[in-house]
Amino acid sequence: MTVEEELRRHPAVADCAVVSVRTGSGGPKLIAYVVPDGEVTGEELRAYLVERLPGRRLPRFVTLVRALPRTADGRIDHRALPLPVRATATPSGGKGGDWQPSTGVAMAISAAVAAVAAYLLTDVLWPYSTDLSAVPPPWAGLFAVLYLVECAAFGLGVAFLLSGRTLLARLDRPPGVSAAAHLAITWLLAAWWPQDNFYRLAAKTDWPLQAALVYGFNVTLMIAAAVVVAFVAARPR
């Protein structure tokens, strides 16, 4: 199905045209011109297409116009279509949405907030798990750095949970595989902070707790790694 056919299936699209033009450096890019029939934005229409078309067929811009220029015989005059002054959506390498600079900033902020929260909550949730008073240098310093890295990884995991789906979607893997990889990578990043704290407080001979930790963390981390392998191996759609 063509881009135009997909757009015409949207209930808020009265008419549309898709052309290939040069918008600066690089090769030609697709631009979709849409005459709306109701309340809709170009970003919403591109998100609609993202779920239905492979990345190579997605228009770079989706521009709303009042009417499409036509020739004397009623056909759409593609040459008379103006270049968009501003893109309503930036290009992506695949399906699933666009990676905007604001998305990266939001991801960095959420990662920092979650990392600080993890650091502050460690002694609340696991009292004395990070007590290094009996550890001699330089080992105490090395362990202190490890605790900070675990908190940072947890923060990055939270940020990836919130914003990472867009990054994965650009690789155009099947939706189910992308969703599983999204959760798997989140767990691979976020699990180390709770795992290490639980292990430090667990008695070595507390076999029920040791078994619960192994299956709750070690095994699930192995599964998460296997999911990532499956995501990498999956063919783009």
Cα separation of 151 and 135, whole Å? Answer: 20
User: Taking the model in full, what pTM does it have?
Assistant: 0.61
Q: Enter the tokens of residue 34.
A: 């849409």
Q: Count CB atoms within 10 A of the CB of residue 102.
A: 8
The reply to whether omega before 138 is within 30° of 0 (cis) is: yes
Give the H/E segment covering residue 209.
helix 207-213
pLDDT interval class at 105 (50, 70, 90): confident
Ordered by start, the domain boundaries in the chain are 3-80, 101-233
pLDDT digits (tens, 9 = 90+) for 149-191: 999 999 999 999 998 887 887 777 888 999 999 999 999 999 9
Q: How far apart are CA 204 and CA 216, in angstroms?
A: 16
Q: Which two tokens stand for residue 93?
A: 């390498």
Confirm if 71 and 116 have CB atoms less than 8 A apart.
Answer: no
What amino acid occupies position 162? L
Q: How many CB atoms lie within 10 A of CB 43?
A: 15
pLDDT mean across residues, the chain: 87
Q: How far apart are CA 29 and CA 33, in angstroms?
A: 13
Higher-scoring residue by pLDDT: 86, 180? 180
Is 12 within 8 Å of 38 (Cβ atoms)? yes
Least confident of 29-43, 59-73, 87-101: 87-101
pLDDT digits (tens, 9 = 90+) for 134-151: 999 999 999 999 999 999
Tokens of 136: 């001699």
Q: Which overall architecture, per CATH, does domain 3-80 show?
A: 2-Layer Sandwich (3.30)
Categorize the per-residue pLDDT at 93 as very low, low, confident or very high, splitting at 50, 70 and 90: very low
